[in-house]
């Protein structure tokens, strides 16, 4: 069997998604997600110009060899563009292998370790009250873990809160230049303990609570936050500080027992190796699309398991349903799986393009038994929603200094 051709599709059903389709000479095809939010076309060029020509004619069943060929063979290793391209090829090859074997990908990984995949949902509100009303609704729907984000009084827009009141999936549909947001650590600290104190009063103790700081704090501020939130027993605190220096997390660790989660923007196992082996984190949040595909995620999960670190893959709306499908197979298999981020099944346009057999009930996802990844891509439907240049926001402090978004 040989790889016959590789196609790259970009569509925008609210969010831009880059989808790779590998077709073999036997007619079997596979899908991969190569979406890098705000830098989509760089990955498209990398795939079309530099990757696809090298793979045509190769055996699609040699997943490991192709991964190593693209990673070691390029000389230029790592980085988000390279790793998103490798990831998409890798996912598509796992999809093909499953279809050839007549088995879902989780069976190829070693089979199910659990009945279903625990999810955490998002409650984002314009005030503490609004956030907690939304959280109560999610709890009623059966979610057992909920991320709380609330608008910060005195700031025009807050991370995670939909200031323009649009549907989450359409939030970045049309941002031809990066929007700018204002951040104040002081105003954030004036709100955050109240959010979680009131959450425990209203929601009780039989629900897991989570929170995403989105890299806004310095290590010692993050340590202070971890300590303040200890009484409210979070499942985890996500991205408490930007950890380009991995030992930033050791500062947080020294002062707080609030569990820590990080990794959604990491590209390789090397980006998180020190924080895992030093037990500075509790959950590793790498995504199949951004960390090199299923092959790389399996390696990270196994490495993390040696140090009691669980997996909690990123599940933002800018990862395509193809990535979500890949995560389902990894989550149901990984012996050290923790929890999966979940923002809903997508808008109507996206559901026209991506068809899958994942079912969500009572805060848990159930992966189907279709061979491969169990996801289909409708090229005609995708063509109705062409690429739309769009960016993630940029953050500034109140004095105008560029800050971490
Ligand atoms: O940073 O969607 O957990 N989710 C998040 C999101 C992501 C953006 C970019 O992928 O933190 O806001
Ligand atoms: Co996050």
Ligand 1 touching residue 37 (CB < 6 A): yes
pLDDT by residue for the chain (405 residues), tens digit each? 999 999 999 999 989 999 999 999 999 999 999 999 999 999 999 999 999 999 999 999 999 999 999 999 999 999 999 999 999 999 999 999 999 999 999 999 999 999 999 999 999 999 999 999 999 999 999 999 999 999 999 998 888 886 555 566 655 656 788 889 999 999 999 999 999 999 999 999 999 999 999 999 999 999 999 999 999 999 999 999 999 999 999 999 999 999 999 999 999 999 999 999 999 999 999 999 999 999 999 999 999 999 999 999 999 999 999 999 999 999 999 999 999 999 998 899 999 999 999 999 999 999 999 999 999 999 999 999 999 999 888 999 999 999 999
Instruction: Determine the Cα angle at 169 with ends 42 and 206, to 5°.
Output: 120
pLDDT at 287: 98
With tokens 């409708």, the residue in question is 378
Three-state secondary-structure class, residue 347: coil
From CA 118, how far away is CA 68, in angstroms rounded?
Answer: 32
- DSSP-assigned beta bridge partners for residue 18: 10
In terms of Cβ atoms closer than 10 Å to its own Cβ (0-12, 13-18, 19+), residue 317 is buried
Task: Check if 159 is active-site.
Answer: yes
From CA 256, how far away is CA 268, in angstroms rounded?
Answer: 27
Strands 180-183 and 17-24: unpaired
Measured in angstroms, how far is the CA atom of residue 214 from the centroid of ligand 2? 6
pLDDT at 169: 61
Three-state secondary-structure class, residue 404: coil
With tokens 């790259």, the residue in question is 8
The whole model's pTM is what?
A: 0.97
Ligand 1 touching residue 162 (CB < 6 A): no
pLDDT at 160: 82
Residue 382, number of CB atoms within 10 A of its CB: 21
Closest ligand 1 atom to Cα of 314: 3
pLDDT at 173: 55
Measured in angstroms, how far is the CA atom of residue 387 from the centroid of ligand 1? 20
With tokens 């349903």, the residue in question is 321
Three-state secondary-structure class, residue 115: coil
From CA 201, how far away is CA 235, in angstroms rounded?
Answer: 17
From CA 52, how far away is CA 324, in angstroms rounded?
Answer: 24
In terms of Cβ atoms closer than 10 Å to its own Cβ (0-12, 13-18, 19+), residue 4 is middle
C-alpha pair distances (Å), 31 with each of 6, 22, 45, 297, 382? 10, 7, 18, 17, 14
pLDDT at 165: 55
So what CATH class is 108-371? Answer: alpha beta
pLDDT at 174: 66
Task: Check if 69 is active-site.
Answer: no
Strands 180-183 and 394-397: parallel
Measured in angstroms, how far is the CA atom of residue 315 from the centroid of ligand 2? 8
Question: Could you tell me which CATH number the domain at 3-103 has?
Answer: 3.30.390.10
Ligand 1 touching residue 349 (CB < 6 A): no
C-alpha pair distances (Å), 159 with each of 162, 216, 220, 279, 399? 8, 10, 21, 28, 18
φ, ψ at 372 (rounded to 5°) = 80, -145
Closest ligand 1 atom to Cα of 317: 2
Domain ranges of the chain: 3-103, 108-371
């Amino acid at each position: 069997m040989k790889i016959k051709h590789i196609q790259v599709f970009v569509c925008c059903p609210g969010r831009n998604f880059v989808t790779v389709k590998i077709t073999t000479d036997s007619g079997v095809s596979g899908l991969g997600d190569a979406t890098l939010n705000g830098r989509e076309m760089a990955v498209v060029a990398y795939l079309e110009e530099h990757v696809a020509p090298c793979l045509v004619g190769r055996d699609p069943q040699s997943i490991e060899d192709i991964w190593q060929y693209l990673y070691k063979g390029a000389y230029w290793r790592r980085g988000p563009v390279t790793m998103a391209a490798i990831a998409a090829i890798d996912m598509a090859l796992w999809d093909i292998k499953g279809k050839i074997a007549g088995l879902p990908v989780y069976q190829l990984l070693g089979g199910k370790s659990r009945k279903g995949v625990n999810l955490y949902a998002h409650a984002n509100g314009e005030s503490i009250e609004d956030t907690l009303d939304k959280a109560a609704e999610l709890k009623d729907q059966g979610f057992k873990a909920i991320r709380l984000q609330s608008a910060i009084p005195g700031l025009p827009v807050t991370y995670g809160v939909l200031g323009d009141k649009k549907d989450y999936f359409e939030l970045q549909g049309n941002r031809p230049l990066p929007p700018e947001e204002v951040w104040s650590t002081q105003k954030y600290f004036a709100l955050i303990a109240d959010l979680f104190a009131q959450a425990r009063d209203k929601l009780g103790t039989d629900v897991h609570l989570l929170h995403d700081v989105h890299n806004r704090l310095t290590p010692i501020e993050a340590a202070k936050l971890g300590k303040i939130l200890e009484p409210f027993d979070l499942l985890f605190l996500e991205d408490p500080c930007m950890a380009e220096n991995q030992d930033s997390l050791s500062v947080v660790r020294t002062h707080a027992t609030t569990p820590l989660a990080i990794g959604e923007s990491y590209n390789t196992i090397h980006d998180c190796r020190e924080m895992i082996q030093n037990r500075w984190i509790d959950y590793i949040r790498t995504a199949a699309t951004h960390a090199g595909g299923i092959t790389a995620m399996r390696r990270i999960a196994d490495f993390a398991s040696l140090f009691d670190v669980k997996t909690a893959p990123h599940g933002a709306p800018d990862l395509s349903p193809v990535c979500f499908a890949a995560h389902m197979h990894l989550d149901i298999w990984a012996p050290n799986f923790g929890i999966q981020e979940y923002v809903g099944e997508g808008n109507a346009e996206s559901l026209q393009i991506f068809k899958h057999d994942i079912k969500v009930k009572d805060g848990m996802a159930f992966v189907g038994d279709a061979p491969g990844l169990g996801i289909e891509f409708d090229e005609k439907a995708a063509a109705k929603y062409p690429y739309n240049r769009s960016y993630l926001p940029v953050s500034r402090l109140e004095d105008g200094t560029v800050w971490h978004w």
